A and B are shown apart, each in its own frame.
Chain A
Amino acid sequence: MPTESTSVSGSGRLAVRKTYKLFIGGAFPRSESGRSYAVTSSGGDFLANAALASRKDARDAVRAARGAFGKWSAATAYNRGQILYRVAEMLEGRRAQFIDEVSLSEGGDAASTVDAAIDLWVWYAGWSDKITQVYGNANPVAGPFFNLSSPEPTGVVGLVAPQESPLLGLVATLAPIIVTGNTAVVLAAEDRPLPAITLAEVLATSDLPGGVVNLLTGRVAETAPWLASHMDVNGLDLAGVTDPALAADLEAAAADNLKRVVRPGATPVDWHADPGVGRMTPFLETKTVWHPKGV
């Protein structure tokens, strides 16, 4: 049923209501399974129907992410930074819509949450051409060599987005994954997916190549195990897994192909706090080259 936010009262116009879909490979498909589920506000009112992703949607998303990895990881850090900054510009343009959705889904001071999310995105965009200086090194070695270590992206990373903070938490976990050149398959907050889907619309209009970020909505317990066991996924961020038994299972499944795993925080994370670089480094590999030098 239309709520105050979706129908236009008094003007006599029919409400143009939005279909919330998945975001895979730069397109917005419905779930392959044809399923959907009802999303309600924090107060329990019906908001919208969102697509209920299946394992095949997860598989398609991984394929799209793998396809996008080559180009995105090879893009210059400068170019990635520009694109991410562009995302922040688009976020700013949709500020009012995000405030609406955040306030419906998590309540609280929505305006400051959205501002924090945009600022955090800008902050991470700036890291794109700086992380190498901080985590790369010229190593002193006993021999006539230049020995250089540089961080490189891991590959396709699966992210279970934080449940309680559907926008800020998502930005705080997604931005550090893609800024370094990884591509991502995101399982949005299960009960509060709307801000995530709107973020996907922002990403789709920000010059971000299709497939760099793929977003699924649905049940974490259903789709996450398929990402965890998928042999073409290289990293797994379990930020939004609230059930410790499920987190342990996912970590065990992820071990099969030695995925890099970030465990869920033991205590609730304050997404407003200074994040440091701790979320960028888990999905970086270090490449070291030995280059001979004259005498």
Chain B
Amino acid sequence: MTATATRPAGSGAGDLSEVARSEAALRTFLHGLPGVDEVGAQARAAMLGTRSIKTSSKAWAIDQAIGMIDLTTLEGADTPGKVRALSTKALRPDSEDPSCPPVAAVCVYPAMVPVAAPILDGTGVHLASVATAFPSGQAPLPVKLEDTRAAVAAGADEIDMVINRGAFLSGRYREVFDEIAAVKETAGPAHLKVILETGELATYDNVRRASWLAMLAGADFIKTSTGKVAPAATLPVTLVMLEAVRDFRVATGRQVGVKPAGGIRTSKDAIKYLVLVNETAGEDWLHPDFFRLGASSLLNDLLMQRTKLKTGRYEGPDYFTLD
């Protein structure tokens, strides 16, 4: 085990409310978090990735992964027709097999929320919308809040916001904190996922700091990436974030979810993430309320693997929908 307790020294359960009282206090707290053992994190993630998951365990993992997918389309070329098709697919991913579980949520741009909302309403499949000037986050705060407000008003019950990486990287943590808190307040009852865009954070230490910062500011989920920056989600980065949510629960009693997004395309990848969750944060996180996979092409690969387990023959993409 390379797991390091990142609980700050001297703090008991629940008394983290004071760390954000000033820029200086926040900086002291975030820079007081223990550094990440980079080589250790990579080695552990690689080691967990070699677990062999077969037959009935694989079938369970595939269904579990399908139920954790945020089925995503975030393209400039998105049309109402495409979003409608995607939403319908989210409800019943495999049109030939009713035993296939629905996905966890559909994730679209705010302009497409009104299209997806009537299809998903009352089905138990959530409707997530990116907001706050996704993917760059480079817009004035009032614009970001209006973006959020519009998405919630149109029917989104989950908001995926991006943090202000420019502010974070130049050390203006309080500004990032306030923005997240403001968006959280604006989002109201909608669940808030905070995208750290780990591909732009440069170090694992920064990933750990950003994770804690987002959780302190009120995030319900921390998410790796927008999917627009390479590298997107990687196993070691997700490991660091899972350690953060685990330690945050120990420190505060509040359980925050994790969502790797971008670059997860195969069933094998998805299963590696499930192993990582189970071995790092624990079984409590193996639930769509606390772990999601942001993906689009992954779903078809899971469906093909699922059908392969059922029929005993290899499947081809010709027999599954395009998106």
Contacts and interface: CB of A to CB of B under 8 A. Distances in A.
A281 interface: no
A62 interface: yes
B314 A226 contact: yes
A226 B311 CA distance: 12
Given A226-B314, A229-B313, A231-B315, 20 more contacts: A59-B314, A62-B314, A226-B313, A229-B312, A230-B313, A230-B314, A230-B316, A231-B313, A231-B314, A231-B316, A231-B318, A232-B316, A232-B317, A232-B318, A233-B316, A253-B313, A256-B313, A257-B316, A257-B318, A257-B319
Contacts of A229: 312-314
Nearest to A228: B313
Nearest to A253: B313
Main secondary structure of the interface of A (DSSP, over half): helix
B316 to A, nearest CB: 3
Contacts of A62: 314
Interface string A231-257: 111000000000000000000010011
Contacts of A232: 314-318
A59 B315 CA distance: 10
Contacts of A59: 314
Contacts of B317: 232
A34 B315 CA distance: 24
A63 B123 CA distance: 36
A223 to B, nearest CB: 12
B301 to A, nearest CB: 11
Nearest to A233: B316
Main secondary structure of the interface of B (DSSP, over half): loop
A176 B318 CA distance: 25
Nearest to B312: A229
Contacts of A230: 313-314, 316
Interface residues of A, number: 12
A233 B316 CA distance: 8
20 contacts: A59-B314, A62-B314, A226-B314, A229-B312, A229-B313, A229-B314, A230-B313, A230-B314, A230-B316, A231-B316, A231-B318, A232-B314, A232-B316, A232-B317, A232-B318, A233-B316, A253-B313, A256-B313, A257-B316, A257-B318
A222 B318 CA distance: 25
The CB with the most chain B CB atoms within 10 A, among A59, A62, A231, A232, is that of A231
Nearest to A231: B316
Contacts of A256: 313
B307 to A, nearest CB: 9
Nearest to B317: A232
A137 to B, nearest CB: 28
Interface string B276-320: 000000000000000000000000000000000000111111110
A197 to B, nearest CB: 24
Contacts of B313: 226, 229-231, 253, 256
Interface in A46-85: 59, 62, 66
Nearest to A55: B314
Contacts of A66: 316
Interface in A173-232: 226, 229-232
A162 B318 CA distance: 30
Contacts of A253: 313
B315 to A, nearest CB: 5
A126 to B, nearest CB: 33
B312 to A, nearest CB: 8
A252 to B, nearest CB: 12
A145 B37 CA distance: 71
Nearest to B313: A229
In the A-B complex, the 7 residue pairs with the smallest Cβ-Cβ separation, listed nearest first, are A232-B316, A229-B313, A231-B316, A230-B314, A231-B315, A59-B314, A231-B319
A233 B319 CA distance: 12
A59 B305 CA distance: 12
Nearest to A59: B314
